[in-house]
Amino acid sequence: MVQPRLVDALSNRKVDAVQDLRGILIRIGRFKSLEVQYTKIHVKPLKKLWEDFDLKQRASRLEMEKHGGESLNSLSFSSWLPNFYDETLLYLEQEWKWYVHGIPFSLF
């Protein structure tokens, strides 16, 4: 079975293993499963960044309710968003570099 090896290789950024499995999946007409697994694994850090803000906002709201409307650690969405964009850009640049080596594009 290729899938457990693929998940391990993608999760641990094992370039040689990913390239070997890519070749196998292309030969058997299952390249789409590589794309699906890659997306599933490598979108998680961005999703976590987004969800962390939401968790902080909820915690801040609870704190406000406890202290009668005073917020000590509130961060507005508009001040958080530029940082999220910066983190996303950095992550995408790193992913692009890895992807080019790990899963090179070919027309054939």
- Per-residue pLDDT tens digits for 30-55: 989 998 999 999 899 999 999 999 89
Domain edges within the chain: 3-101
Short-list 23, 32, 19, 25, CA closest to 1 = 25
pLDDT in tens, 76-96: 889 999 999 999 999 999 999
Alpha-carbon span 107 to 69, nearest angstrom: 59
Contacts of 20 (CB under 8 A, 6+ apart): none
Short-list 83, 86, 103, CA closest to 95 = 103
Helices (H), the chain: 3-11, 15-27, 31-42, 44-66, 77-102
pLDDT at 107: 44
Structure tokens at 64: 């406000």
